[in-house]
């Protein structure tokens, strides 16, 4: 059954929590608006709002989209186009060019697209083709809001079929080298280990029975799956269109009516899959020859077989849970969540026909998402994830309403700014579209450290430096905010002129755990920010002045108020708490 849902009004803390996790960041006004909603209403706005398709990415050399036009000498080098694609995707996450009333829903969709990218990996240096990267991204976008599509075949399981013959995936894991008589097992192995049934619940698994035993599948299953997946090649012209998605995909070797490189023999799987055998459908064959249709049908049989195992749904739901909620770091914590939460998510996943949107929506409406340990700070979901560089950088820019230049009318400036974002991500430890290996960015999958890997002695000071460059006028680089203007725009004069009130209000919007705040140690709430932390923030604002003098200086409009506010924002946003989502 679905997870029990939280039915009350969100309020400020829960609204900020939801928007940190479900989007790439929100402004104060957006958080305020969502604070008045129930989770059901908020999720409907985020995930059920009709959205426009993205504006196509232009090549600055021609001013025209490049992915759907023939290559020519007029186009930029494809290496540049690959980086333009990544910049374009970042622009989508920032809702560039989107009306304010759709901005959050648009960002929520792009977060789903990024989740799919974090699961079905793409490595730019291996794929090395801007069109392949773009069309895979479009495939993810098409399947990201699968609950809105009335067709039952638009679901995560079917996406796994489509990805298996996607040009970018064929290139990444050498599917284009997998032919009859000389199977390449790279994709088959990762399909089982990473993208579907997985490795089981890490830290709780029994020892393998021997070589070739991977607990949930065996070497025999890898070999059989590789034969099922044989016979495909890259379509570098991107003219082979999938009949369901109308997006380019790989093509079958030999021809649609004679798939000569596909292994047409029966494929026998191990006892882990009940000794199943996958055979070509005779009605789809051309005499005794495999066809494109029969080869695709075999892949669909393979995916059906993998999804027939309950561990597959649970593995996918664990990926969703770690991305949106929390990554437990001990076997005991994992077992408790697996039993109470993941099992129910998997039931919802299966009952929905393997659509992921209903699973994510139920999770983001659930009591568990908002309450977790019900007052026990040790397993509270608020602030339970270390922000990825993507969430830190984009979330900071969006919080301050920093806008990108128009991609269509200021193309060069748009790519310059978004290239700067790519550089910032790399500086913080995230090489966008260049994860370390085919398992993807390790912080989403690597037991037991998970998201803790984002913080290292090198990367933490760089996070602080990024904030300093954004909020300090003297350090202004590619992005800069006037914090005095931000405060006067977003907070009433009565709040801004009161040092304590201003510190507390800013903490509520920028930090994940900021309720029941007090500057008095005697009334400190151990589950929130300590009085000592609040007083430190206040001292950074006041500098050598007292609170009464701050009020006087604010009301008089003293010329150095921005300087004092920069001290406060640097203290607040360079705090350990701001690194948490």
Q: From 463, 423, 422, 486, select the one nearest 580 (Cα to Cα).
A: 463
Q: How many CA atoms lie within 13 A of 139 on its CB side?
A: 31
- Residue 576 carries which DSSP code? G
Contact 344, 1 (CB under 8 A): yes
Residue 521 has which token pair? Answer: 């140690």
Strand, helix or coil for residue 396: helix
CB atoms within 10 A of CB 271: 10
CA 544-545-550 angle, to 5 degrees, is 145
Residue 204 has which token pair? Answer: 């709780």
Strand, helix or coil for residue 151: coil
Spatial separation of the C-alpha atoms in residues 267 and 275, rounded to whole Å: 10
pTM value surpassing 0.85: yes
Predicted confidence at residue 362, as pLDDT, reads 98
CB atoms within 10 A of CB 147: 18
Per-residue pLDDT tens digits of the chain, which is 581 residues long: 899 999 999 999 999 999 999 999 999 999 999 999 999 999 999 999 999 999 999 999 999 999 988 778 889 999 999 999 999 999 999 999 999 999 999 999 999 999 999 999 999 999 999 999 999 999 999 999 999 999 899 999 999 999 999 999 999 999 999 999 999 999 999 999 999 999 999 889 889 988 999 999 999 999 999 999 999 999 999 999 999 999 999 999 999 999 999 999 999 999 999 999 999 999 999 998 999 999 999 999 999 999 999 999 999 999 999 999 999 989 999 999 999 999 999 999 999 999 999 999 999 999 999 985 444 444 467 889 999 999 999 999 999 999 999 999 999 999 999 999 999 999 999 999 999 999 999 999 999 999 999 999 999 999 999 999 999 998 888 899 999 999 999 999 999 999 999 999 999 999 998 888 889 887 766 667 889 999 999 999 999 899 999 999 999 999 999 999 999 999 999 999 999 99
Residue 88 has which token pair? Answer: 């374009």
Predicted confidence at residue 475, as pLDDT, reads 86
Spatial separation of the C-alpha atoms in residues 376 and 379, rounded to whole Å: 6
Spatial separation of the C-alpha atoms in residues 395 and 390, rounded to whole Å: 8
Predicted confidence at residue 478, as pLDDT, reads 87
Helix ranges restricted to H, 492-574: 493-496, 499-510, 531-542, 547-556, 561-573
Q: Report phi then psi at 113, rounded to 5.
A: -60, -45
The DSSP line for 172-227 is HTTGGG-BTTB---HHHHHIIIIISS-S-STTSPPPPSSTTB-SSSBHHHHHHHHH
Strand, helix or coil for residue 507: helix
Predicted confidence at residue 375, as pLDDT, reads 42
Domain boundaries, the chain: 389-579
Predicted confidence at residue 377, as pLDDT, reads 40
Predicted confidence at residue 379, as pLDDT, reads 46
Predicted confidence at residue 376, as pLDDT, reads 43
Residues 6+ apart with CB under 8 A from 338: 201, 314, 318
The DSSP line for 457-473 is TTHHHHHHHHHHHHH-G
- Residue 340 carries which DSSP code? I
Predicted confidence at residue 373, as pLDDT, reads 43
Predicted confidence at residue 306, as pLDDT, reads 98
Spatial separation of the C-alpha atoms in residues 444 and 453, rounded to whole Å: 10
Contact 535, 528 (CB under 8 A): no
Q: From 466, 426, 429, 471, select the one nearest 570 (Cα to Cα).
A: 471
Residue 530 has which token pair? Answer: 């300590």
Contact 174, 372 (CB under 8 A): no
Predicted confidence at residue 73, as pLDDT, reads 86
Whether the link from the prior residue into 448 is cis, omega within 30° of 0, is yes
CA-to-CA dists, residue 167 to 60, 64, 443, angstroms: 25, 23, 26
Spatial separation of the C-alpha atoms in residues 570 and 101, rounded to whole Å: 30
Spatial separation of the C-alpha atoms in residues 532 and 577, rounded to whole Å: 14
């Amino acid at each position: 059954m679905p997870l029990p849902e939280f039915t009350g009004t969100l309020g400020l803390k829960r609204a900020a929590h939801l928007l940190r996790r479900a989007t790439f960041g929100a402004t104060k006004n957006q958080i305020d608006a969502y604070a008045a909603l129930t989770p059901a209403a908020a999720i409907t706005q985020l995930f059920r709002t009709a959205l426009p398709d993205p504006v196509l990415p232009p090549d600055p050399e021609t001013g025209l989209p490049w992915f759907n036009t023939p290559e020519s000498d007029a186009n930029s080098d494809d290496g540049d186009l690959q980086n333009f694609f990544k910049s374009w995707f970042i622009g989508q996450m920032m809702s560039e060019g989107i009306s304010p009333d759709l901005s959050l829903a648009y960002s929520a969709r792009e977060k789903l697209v990024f989740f799919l990218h974090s699961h079905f990996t793409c490595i730019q240096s291996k794929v090395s083709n801007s069109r392949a990267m773009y069309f895979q991204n479009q495939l993810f976008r098409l399947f990201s809001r699968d609950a809105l599509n009335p067709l039952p075949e638009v679901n995560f399981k079917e996406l796994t079929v489509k990805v298996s013959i996607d040009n970018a995936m064929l290139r990444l894991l050498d599917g284009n080298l997998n032919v009859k008589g000389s199977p390449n097992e790279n994709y088959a192995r990762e399909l089982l280990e990473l993208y579907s049934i997985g490795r089981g619940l890490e830290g709780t698994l029994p020892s393998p029975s021997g070589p070739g035993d991977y607990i949930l599948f065996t070497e025999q299953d890898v070999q059989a799956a590789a034969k099922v997946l044989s016979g495909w090649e890259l379509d570098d012209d991107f003219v082979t269109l999938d009949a369901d998605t109308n997006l380019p995909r790989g093509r079958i070797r030999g021809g649609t009516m004679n798939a000569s490189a596909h292994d047409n023999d029966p494929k026998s799987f191990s006892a882990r899959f009940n000794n199943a055998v996958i055979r070509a459908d005779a009605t789809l064959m051309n005499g005794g020859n495999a066809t494109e249709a029969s080869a695709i049908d075999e892949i669909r049989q393979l995916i059906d077989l993998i999804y027939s195992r309950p561990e597959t749904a649970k593995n996918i739901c664990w990926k969703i849970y770690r991305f949106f909620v929390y990554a437990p770091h001990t076997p005991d914590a994992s077992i408790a969540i697996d039993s109470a939460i993941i099992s129910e998510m998997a039931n919802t996943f299966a009952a929905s026909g393997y659509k992921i949107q209903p699973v994510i929506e139920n999770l983001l409406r659930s009591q568990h998402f908002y309450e977790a340990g019900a007052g026990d700070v040790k397993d509270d979901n608020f602030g339970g994830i270390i922000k990825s560089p993507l969430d830190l950088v984009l979330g900071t820019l969006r919080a301050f309403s920093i806008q990108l230049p128009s991609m269509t009318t200021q193309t060069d400036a748009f790519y310059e700014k978004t290239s700067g974002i790519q550089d910032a991500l790399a500086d913080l430890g995230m090489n966008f579209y260049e994860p370390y290996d085919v398992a993807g960015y390790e912080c989403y999958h690597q037991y037991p450290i998970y998201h803790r890997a984002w913080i290292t002695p090198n990367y933490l000071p760089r996070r602080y430096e990024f904030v300093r460059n954004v909020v300090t006028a003297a350090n202004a680089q590619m992005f800069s905010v006037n914090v005095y203007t931000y405060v006067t725009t977003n907070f009433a004069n009565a709040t801004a002129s009161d040092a304590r009130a201003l510190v507390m209000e800013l903490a509520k919007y920028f930090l994940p755990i900021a309720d029941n705040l007090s500057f008095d140690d005697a009334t400190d709430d151990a589950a929130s920010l300590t009085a000592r932390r609040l007083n430190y923030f206040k001292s950074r604002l006041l500098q050598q002045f007292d609170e009464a003098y701050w009020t006087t200086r604010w009301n008089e409009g003293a010329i150095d108020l921005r300087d004092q506010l920069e001290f406060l924002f640097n203290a607040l946003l360079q705090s350990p708490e701001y690194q948490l989502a």
